[in-house]
Protein backbone atom coordinates (compact mmCIF):
# COMPACT_ATOMS: atom_id res chain seq x y z
CA UNK A 1 0.00 0.00 0.00
CA UNK A 2 1.26 3.47 -0.89
CA UNK A 3 0.59 6.84 0.67
CA UNK A 4 1.45 10.27 -0.67
CA UNK A 5 4.38 11.95 1.01
CA UNK A 6 6.90 14.72 0.42
CA UNK A 7 10.65 14.39 0.04
CA UNK A 8 12.25 16.56 2.78
CA UNK A 9 15.24 17.13 0.48
CA UNK A 10 13.71 18.32 -2.81
CA UNK A 11 10.10 18.75 -1.58
CA UNK A 12 8.59 16.80 -4.48
CA UNK A 13 5.47 14.71 -3.92
CA UNK A 14 6.31 11.00 -3.80
CA UNK A 15 4.50 7.70 -3.28
CA UNK A 16 5.58 6.07 -0.03
CA UNK A 17 5.15 2.32 0.70
CA UNK A 18 3.87 1.37 4.15
CA UNK A 19 6.15 -1.65 4.52
CA UNK A 20 9.50 0.19 4.32
CA UNK A 21 11.50 2.23 6.83
CA UNK A 22 13.63 4.01 4.24
CA UNK A 23 13.19 4.82 0.57
CA UNK A 24 15.08 6.55 -2.24
CA UNK A 25 13.45 9.68 -3.65
CA UNK A 26 12.82 9.16 -7.38
CA UNK A 27 13.49 12.85 -8.05
CA UNK A 28 16.69 13.72 -6.16
CA UNK A 29 18.02 10.27 -5.28
CA UNK A 30 18.20 11.06 -1.55
CA UNK A 31 17.71 8.21 0.94
CA UNK A 32 14.98 9.30 3.37
CA UNK A 33 12.99 7.74 6.16
CA UNK A 34 9.34 6.87 5.52
CA UNK A 35 8.26 8.64 8.71
CA UNK A 36 9.93 11.86 7.57
CA UNK A 37 8.44 11.62 4.08
CA UNK A 38 4.98 11.17 5.60
CA UNK A 39 5.49 14.02 8.04
CA UNK A 40 5.21 11.74 11.05
CA UNK A 41 7.71 13.63 13.14
CA UNK A 42 7.64 12.76 16.81
CA UNK A 43 6.95 15.48 19.31
CA UNK A 44 9.70 16.76 21.52
CA UNK A 45 10.05 19.53 24.02
CA UNK A 46 11.94 22.67 23.09
CA UNK A 47 14.06 22.15 26.20
CA UNK A 48 15.17 18.66 25.11
CA UNK A 49 15.81 19.87 21.58
CA UNK A 50 17.95 22.79 22.74
CA UNK A 51 19.83 20.63 25.22
CA UNK A 52 20.76 18.09 22.54
CA UNK A 53 21.67 20.79 20.05
CA UNK A 54 24.02 22.48 22.52
CA UNK A 55 25.52 19.17 23.60
CA UNK A 56 26.27 18.19 20.00
CA UNK A 57 27.82 21.52 19.01
CA UNK A 58 29.85 21.85 22.20
CA UNK A 59 31.10 18.30 21.77
CA UNK A 60 32.24 18.93 18.19
CA UNK A 61 33.92 22.18 19.18
CA UNK A 62 35.74 20.58 22.14
CA UNK A 63 36.82 17.66 19.95
CA UNK A 64 38.75 20.02 17.70
CA UNK A 65 39.96 22.34 20.44
CA UNK A 66 41.38 19.54 22.61
CA UNK A 67 42.90 17.53 19.75
CA UNK A 68 46.28 16.28 21.03
CA UNK A 69 48.68 14.11 19.03
CA UNK A 70 46.04 11.86 17.43
CA UNK A 71 48.68 10.08 15.34
CA UNK A 72 50.74 8.65 18.18
CA UNK A 73 48.45 5.66 18.79
CA UNK A 74 47.85 4.79 15.14
CA UNK A 75 49.61 1.45 15.43
CA UNK A 76 48.47 -2.06 14.73
CA UNK A 77 48.39 -3.14 18.37
CA UNK A 78 46.83 0.09 19.69
CA UNK A 79 44.33 1.47 17.17
CA UNK A 80 41.42 -0.86 17.95
CA UNK A 81 41.43 -0.10 21.66
CA UNK A 82 42.00 3.64 21.19
CA UNK A 83 39.17 3.86 18.64
CA UNK A 84 36.79 1.92 20.93
CA UNK A 85 37.56 4.37 23.74
CA UNK A 86 37.04 7.34 21.40
CA UNK A 87 33.72 5.94 20.16
CA UNK A 88 32.41 5.18 23.65
CA UNK A 89 33.42 8.58 25.06
CA UNK A 90 31.72 10.45 22.20
CA UNK A 91 28.63 8.29 21.82
CA UNK A 92 26.45 10.78 23.73
CA UNK A 93 27.56 13.48 21.29
CA UNK A 94 26.59 11.27 18.35
CA UNK A 95 23.24 10.55 19.97
CA UNK A 96 22.61 14.28 20.38
CA UNK A 97 23.56 14.92 16.75
CA UNK A 98 21.04 12.32 15.57
CA UNK A 99 18.35 13.52 17.99
CA UNK A 100 18.37 17.01 16.50
CA UNK A 101 18.52 15.57 12.97
CA UNK A 102 15.35 13.58 13.66
CA UNK A 103 13.36 16.41 15.20
CA UNK A 104 14.45 19.44 13.21
CA UNK A 105 12.27 20.84 10.43
CA UNK A 106 15.38 21.41 8.32
CA UNK A 107 17.85 18.48 8.59
CA UNK A 108 20.10 19.89 5.88
CA UNK A 109 20.54 23.09 7.86
CA UNK A 110 21.46 21.05 10.93
CA UNK A 111 24.12 19.17 8.96
CA UNK A 112 25.48 22.50 7.76
CA UNK A 113 25.47 23.93 11.27
CA UNK A 114 27.46 20.99 12.64
CA UNK A 115 29.92 21.21 9.79
CA UNK A 116 30.41 24.95 10.27
CA UNK A 117 30.97 24.36 13.98
CA UNK A 118 33.90 22.06 13.20
CA UNK A 119 35.33 24.31 10.49
CA UNK A 120 35.14 27.39 12.71
CA UNK A 121 36.70 25.57 15.66
CA UNK A 122 39.57 24.35 13.47
CA UNK A 123 40.05 27.80 11.92
CA UNK A 124 40.16 29.48 15.33
CA UNK A 125 42.60 26.87 16.60
CA UNK A 126 44.93 27.30 13.62
CA UNK A 127 44.89 31.07 14.10
CA UNK A 128 46.54 30.62 17.49
CA UNK A 129 49.71 29.37 15.78
CA UNK A 130 52.08 32.03 14.53
CA UNK A 131 54.41 30.14 12.22
CA UNK A 132 53.53 28.34 8.99
CA UNK A 133 55.23 25.12 10.07
CA UNK A 134 53.24 25.04 13.30
CA UNK A 135 50.00 25.64 11.42
CA UNK A 136 50.84 22.86 8.96
CA UNK A 137 51.56 20.41 11.76
CA UNK A 138 48.37 21.36 13.59
CA UNK A 139 46.30 20.98 10.42
CA UNK A 140 47.86 17.55 9.94
CA UNK A 141 46.69 16.64 13.45
CA UNK A 142 43.16 17.79 12.63
CA UNK A 143 43.16 15.91 9.32
CA UNK A 144 44.19 12.76 11.12
CA UNK A 145 41.60 13.24 13.87
CA UNK A 146 38.81 13.55 11.33
CA UNK A 147 39.85 10.82 8.92
CA UNK A 148 40.92 8.15 11.44
CA UNK A 149 38.64 8.80 14.41
CA UNK A 150 35.72 11.21 13.95
CA UNK A 151 34.46 10.21 10.51
CA UNK A 152 34.83 6.45 11.18
CA UNK A 153 32.96 6.95 14.49
CA UNK A 154 30.17 8.87 12.74
CA UNK A 155 29.87 6.15 10.09
CA UNK A 156 29.87 3.40 12.71
CA UNK A 157 27.03 5.00 14.68
CA UNK A 158 23.69 3.65 13.36
CA UNK A 159 21.95 6.91 12.46
CA UNK A 160 20.27 8.58 9.50
CA UNK A 161 22.56 11.59 9.74
CA UNK A 162 25.78 9.53 9.58
CA UNK A 163 26.33 9.25 5.82
CA UNK A 164 25.14 12.73 4.79
CA UNK A 165 27.06 14.40 7.62
CA UNK A 166 30.27 12.54 6.78
CA UNK A 167 29.93 13.47 3.10
CA UNK A 168 29.26 17.15 3.82
CA UNK A 169 32.04 17.41 6.41
CA UNK A 170 34.64 15.82 4.13
CA UNK A 171 33.72 18.01 1.15
CA UNK A 172 33.60 21.20 3.21
CA UNK A 173 36.80 20.44 5.10
CA UNK A 174 38.76 19.68 1.94
CA UNK A 175 37.44 22.80 0.24
CA UNK A 176 38.18 25.06 3.22
CA UNK A 177 41.64 23.79 4.13
CA UNK A 178 42.75 22.56 0.68
CA UNK A 179 43.27 19.02 1.90
CA UNK A 180 42.21 15.61 0.62
CA UNK A 181 40.92 13.59 3.56
CA UNK A 182 38.81 10.61 2.55
CA UNK A 183 35.77 8.71 3.75
CA UNK A 184 37.22 5.83 5.73
CA UNK A 185 35.27 3.38 7.89
CA UNK A 186 36.64 1.89 11.07
CA UNK A 187 36.59 -1.70 9.81
CA UNK A 188 38.47 -0.74 6.65
CA UNK A 189 41.18 1.02 8.66
CA UNK A 190 41.49 -1.67 11.32
CA UNK A 191 41.44 -4.52 8.81
CA UNK A 192 44.13 -2.71 6.89
CA UNK A 193 46.55 -3.52 9.69
CA UNK A 194 45.58 -7.19 9.49
CA UNK A 195 45.75 -7.30 5.69
CA UNK A 196 49.12 -5.61 5.86
CA UNK A 197 48.46 -2.77 3.48
CA UNK A 198 51.51 -1.52 1.61
CA UNK A 199 51.57 1.81 3.43
CA UNK A 200 54.79 3.22 2.02
CA UNK A 201 54.36 1.80 -1.48
CA UNK A 202 50.79 3.08 -1.57
CA UNK A 203 51.89 6.53 -0.41
CA UNK A 204 54.64 6.62 -3.04
CA UNK A 205 52.30 5.54 -5.82
CA UNK A 206 49.68 8.08 -4.79
CA UNK A 207 52.22 10.91 -4.84
CA UNK A 208 53.42 9.80 -8.26
CA UNK A 209 49.82 9.64 -9.49
CA UNK A 210 49.95 5.91 -10.21
CA UNK A 211 46.75 5.03 -8.33
CA UNK A 212 45.93 2.45 -5.66
CA UNK A 213 45.66 -0.45 -8.14
CA UNK A 214 48.73 0.31 -10.23
CA UNK A 215 51.07 -2.32 -11.64
CA UNK A 216 53.90 -1.58 -9.20
CA UNK A 217 51.71 -1.89 -6.12
CA UNK A 218 50.08 -5.13 -7.24
CA UNK A 219 53.44 -6.67 -8.16
CA UNK A 220 54.98 -5.84 -4.79
CA UNK A 221 51.90 -7.13 -2.93
CA UNK A 222 52.10 -10.43 -4.80
CA UNK A 223 55.80 -10.72 -3.99
CA UNK A 224 55.13 -10.01 -0.32
CA UNK A 225 52.28 -12.54 -0.03
CA UNK A 226 53.62 -15.35 -2.21
CA UNK A 227 57.34 -15.22 -1.52
CA UNK A 228 58.54 -12.93 1.24
CA UNK A 229 55.92 -13.62 3.89
CA UNK A 230 56.03 -17.40 3.63
CA UNK A 231 59.66 -17.75 4.79
CA UNK A 232 60.68 -17.25 8.44
CA UNK A 233 63.27 -14.62 7.55
CA UNK A 234 60.96 -12.81 5.16
CA UNK A 235 58.02 -12.97 7.55
CA UNK A 236 60.07 -11.36 10.32
CA UNK A 237 61.07 -8.58 7.92
CA UNK A 238 57.47 -8.02 6.88
CA UNK A 239 56.33 -7.91 10.50
CA UNK A 240 58.97 -5.32 11.36
CA UNK A 241 57.99 -3.23 8.34
CA UNK A 242 54.31 -3.16 9.19
CA UNK A 243 54.99 -2.22 12.78
CA UNK A 244 56.81 0.93 11.69
CA UNK A 245 55.34 1.77 8.25
CA UNK A 246 52.31 3.83 9.42
CA UNK A 247 54.52 6.00 11.61
CA UNK A 248 57.06 6.46 8.83
CA UNK A 249 54.40 7.58 6.35
CA UNK A 250 53.02 10.07 8.88
CA UNK A 251 56.49 11.50 9.48
CA UNK A 252 57.31 11.71 5.78
CA UNK A 253 54.05 13.57 5.20
CA UNK A 254 55.15 16.20 7.68
CA UNK A 255 58.22 17.01 5.60
CA UNK A 256 58.05 20.09 3.34
CA UNK A 257 59.97 18.12 0.67
CA UNK A 258 57.85 14.97 0.94
CA UNK A 259 57.35 14.82 -2.85
CA UNK A 260 61.12 14.55 -3.30
CA UNK A 261 61.31 11.92 -0.54
CA UNK A 262 58.70 9.76 -2.23
CA UNK A 263 60.35 10.20 -5.62
CA UNK A 264 63.67 9.02 -4.21
CA UNK A 265 62.04 6.06 -2.45
CA UNK A 266 60.60 5.02 -5.78
CA UNK A 267 63.84 5.44 -7.70
CA UNK A 268 66.27 4.10 -5.06
CA UNK A 269 64.29 1.17 -3.62
CA UNK A 270 60.91 0.35 -5.12
CA UNK A 271 61.85 0.45 -8.79
CA UNK A 272 64.98 -1.74 -8.29
CA UNK A 273 62.82 -4.21 -6.31
CA UNK A 274 60.28 -4.27 -9.12
CA UNK A 275 63.00 -4.98 -11.67
CA UNK A 276 64.28 -7.86 -9.51
CA UNK A 277 60.79 -9.38 -9.28
CA UNK A 278 60.31 -9.07 -13.03
CA UNK A 279 63.63 -10.87 -13.48
CA UNK A 280 62.53 -13.50 -10.90
CA UNK A 281 65.52 -12.62 -8.75
CA UNK A 282 63.52 -12.80 -5.52
CA UNK A 283 66.52 -12.98 -3.20
CA UNK A 284 67.91 -9.75 -4.57
CA UNK A 285 64.51 -8.13 -4.09
CA UNK A 286 64.51 -9.20 -0.43
CA UNK A 287 67.93 -7.59 0.02
CA UNK A 288 66.61 -4.35 -1.46
CA UNK A 289 63.49 -4.58 0.70
CA UNK A 290 65.63 -5.00 3.82
CA UNK A 291 67.82 -2.04 2.87
CA UNK A 292 64.74 0.14 2.45
CA UNK A 293 63.41 -0.85 5.88
CA UNK A 294 66.74 -0.13 7.53
CA UNK A 295 67.12 3.21 5.76
CA UNK A 296 63.62 4.32 6.72
CA UNK A 297 64.13 3.28 10.33
CA UNK A 298 67.35 5.25 10.48
CA UNK A 299 65.78 8.33 8.93
CA UNK A 300 62.38 8.43 10.61
CA UNK A 301 62.31 6.23 13.72
CA UNK A 302 65.25 7.62 15.72
Q: How far apart are the first and last CA of the chain?
A: 68
Instruction: Provide the 8-state DSSP code for 42.
Output: P
Residue 70 burial (10 A CB sphere; 0-12, 13-18, 19+): buried
Instruction: Provide the 8-state DSSP code for 38.
Output: T
Q: Which residue has the higher pLDDT, 280 or 128?
A: 128
If one counts every other C-beta atom within 10 angstroms of the C-beta of residue 228, the result is 19
Helix, strand, or coil (residue 6): strand
Distance of CA 123 to the CA centre of its chain: 20
Q: Residue 192: what pLDDT?
A: 61
User: What is the arithmetic mean of pLDDT over 163-181?
Assistant: 92
Rg, C-alpha atoms of the chain = 23
Task: Give the dihedral sign, CA 127/92/45/24.
Answer: positive
Task: Report residue 198: phi and psi, to 5°.
Answer: -80, 80
- Residue 224's nearest CA partner among 203, 242, 210 is 242
Interhelix angle 199-207/215-226, nearest 10 degrees: 170
- Residue 99's nearest CA partner among 179, 42, 21, 30 is 42
Q: Residue 302: what pLDDT?
A: 66
Task: Answer yes or no: are the C-beta atoms of 111 and 56 closer than 8 Å.
Answer: no
Helix, strand, or coil (residue 265): helix
Instruction: Provide the 8-state DSSP code for 131.
Output: S
Q: How confident is the model at residue 153 (pLDDT cuts 50, 70, 90)?
A: very high
Q: Which residue has the higher pLDDT, 136 or 10?
A: 136
Q: Which residue has the higher pLDDT, 30 or 302?
A: 30
Give per-residue pLDDT as tens, 42-84: 556 788 899 999 999 999 999 999 988 887 777 767 888 999 9
Give per-residue pLDDT as tens, 231-258: 677 778 887 887 788 888 888 888 888 8
Amino acid sequence: MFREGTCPKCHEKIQVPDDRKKIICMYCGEEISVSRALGEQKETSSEAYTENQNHALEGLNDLIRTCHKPMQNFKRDLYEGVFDTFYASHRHMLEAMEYVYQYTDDPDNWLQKMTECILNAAGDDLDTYRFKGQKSQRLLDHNFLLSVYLIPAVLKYPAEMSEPFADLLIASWNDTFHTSIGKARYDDINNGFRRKLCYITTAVCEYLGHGSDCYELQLLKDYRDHYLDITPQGHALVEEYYNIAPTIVKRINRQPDRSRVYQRLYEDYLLPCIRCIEAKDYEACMVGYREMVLALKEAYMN
